[in-house]
C-alpha cells in the first residue's frame, strides 16, 4: 500500500474575525457630512490622513470620508469593479424599523427593501452614489445551512412587520440615528473574475465560502452568513474602478488574535507591494487591524 499523504488543513481565520472600517471617497465633504451626521446620526470623530471619520454614538469608527473635488457620482449600476455597497448592521429588528421610519420621515429616497431570510435590509445611496445597506440579522438559530452553504434569498420585506417592531415598544421618540452598537456587518464588491476573487479571500485571507451562485459568492468567518459578497454583475472581466468616481478606497479586516494576524500578514505580503495594505485581485486595498 502506498504511504498516506497528509493534506494540510486550509488556512482559516479565527471565528471572531470581522469587518472594521470602510474608507469612502466623496466629491463634497460638507454634503456627505450632512447625510451621514444629520440624517443617519453618525458622530464625527478624530480623523487622520486627510480623512473625516464617522462613528455611531460613541462606538467604533464605521466609515471615513476623503474629499476628492470633481469626482463623478457613482452610477447605480457601475460597469466596473469596486464598491457595490457597505452594509451597516443594527442590533435588532426594532432598530431597523426605527431607521426605516426615520428615513421615510426625512423623505430620503430608498433603493429597495428586502428580506434575505437570514436578515432584513434597507438599501439606499449616499449623495455621491455610494451604495449603503442598513440591515438587521434574524437569529442565527433560524439560518438554514446545507453542505457549508447558507440559504439566502431576496424577497420583499415585510414592511408592516418591521415598522410594527419599531412601534410595539411604545417609544414614540423621534429617530435620532443609528444606535451605538451599529457595526459594518459586511461589504459587497463587484469583481472581474469570481473564481479569482473567491480564491484570494478563501485561500489567502482565510474566509469560508458560504454562498455560491453563478454570478455571486459570499465569504465569511465564524459561520456568519457573509462578511463579503462578490458579484460579477458588471460582466466577467469588468474594468477596474476609477479613482475619478466616488467609491471605496480601502477597508479593514479586524483580527484580534496576534498569531493569526501575523500569519495573515505573511500570506498577504506578496499582495502588498511594500505598502501597509494588501490588494485583492481587483486592486481593492485591505488593511488588517486589531
Q: Where are the alpha helices (DSSP H) in the chain?
A: 29-33, 93-106, 159-167, 194-199, 258-268
pLDDT band at 102 (very low <50, low <70, confident <90, very high): very high
Site of grid cell 462578490: 230
- Written as nine digits, the cell of 120 is 432584513
Site of grid cell 474629499: 67
**Average pLDDT estimate for 57-69:** 94
Site of grid cell 471619520: 53
Strand blocks (E) in 205-258: 208-213, 216-220, 228-231, 247-254
Closest CA to 77 of 134, 153, 23, 129: 129
Q: Which CATH architecture has domain 18-289?
A: Roll (3.10)
Whole-number mean pLDDT of the chain? Answer: 94
Domain-by-domain residue ranges, the chain?
A: 18-289
For residue 5, pLDDT beyond 70: no
DSSP summary character for residue 214: T
pLDDT above 90 as % of the chain: 87
Helical (H) or strand (E) element with 82: strand 82-90
Report pTM: 0.95
Sign of CA dihedral 100, 104, 109, 115: positive
Amino acid at each position: 500500500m502506498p504511504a498516506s499523504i497528509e493534506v494540510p488543513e486550509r488556512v482559516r481565520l479565527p471565528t471572531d474575525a470581522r469587518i472594521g472600517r470602510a474608507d469612502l471617497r466623496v466629491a463634497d465633504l460638507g454634503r456627505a457630512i450632512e447625510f451621514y451626521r444629520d440624517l443617519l446620526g453618525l458622530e464625527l470623530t478624530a480623523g487622520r490622513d486627510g480623512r473625516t471619520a464617522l462613528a455611531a454614538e460613541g462606538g467604533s469608527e464605521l466609515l471615513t470620508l476623503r474629499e476628492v473635488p470633481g469626482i463623478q457620482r457613482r452610477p447605480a449600476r457601475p460597469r466596473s469593479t469596486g464598491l457595490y455597497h457597505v452594509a451597516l448592521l443594527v442590533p435588532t429588528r426594532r432598530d431597523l424599523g426605527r431607521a426605516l421610519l426615520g428615513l421615510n420621515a426625512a423623505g430620503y429616497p430608498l433603493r429597495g427593501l428586502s428580506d434575505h431570510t437570514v436578515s432584513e435590509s434597507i438599501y439606499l445611496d449616499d449623495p455621491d452614489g455610494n451604495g449603503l445597506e442598513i440591515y438587521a440579522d434574524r437569529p442565527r438559530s433560524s439560518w438554514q445551512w446545507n453542505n457549508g452553504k447558507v440559504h439566502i434569498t431576496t424577497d420583499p420585506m415585510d414592511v408592516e412587520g418591521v415598522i410594527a417592531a419599531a412601534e410595539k415598544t411604545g417609544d414614540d421618540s423621534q429617530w435620532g440615528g443609528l444606535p451605538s452598537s451599529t457595526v459594518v456587518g459586511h461589504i459587497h464588491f463587484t469583481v472581474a473574475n469570481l473564481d479569482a476573487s473567491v480564491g484570494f479571500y478563501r485561500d489567502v485571507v482565510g474566509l469560508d465560502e458560504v454562498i455560491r451562485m453563478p454570478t455571486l459568492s459570499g465569504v465569511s468567518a465564524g459561520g456568519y452568513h457573509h462578511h463579503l459578497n462578490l458579484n460579477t454583475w458588471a460582466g466577467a472581466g469588468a474594468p477596474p474602478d476609477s479613482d475619478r468616481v466616488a467609491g471605496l478606497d480601502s477597508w479593514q479586516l479586524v483580527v484580534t488574535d496576534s498569531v493569526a494576524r501575523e500569519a495573515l500578514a505573511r500570506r498577504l505580503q506578496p499582495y502588498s507591494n511594500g505598502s501597509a495594505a494588501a490588494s485583492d485581485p481587483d486592486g481593492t486595498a485591505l488593511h488588517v487591524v486589531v
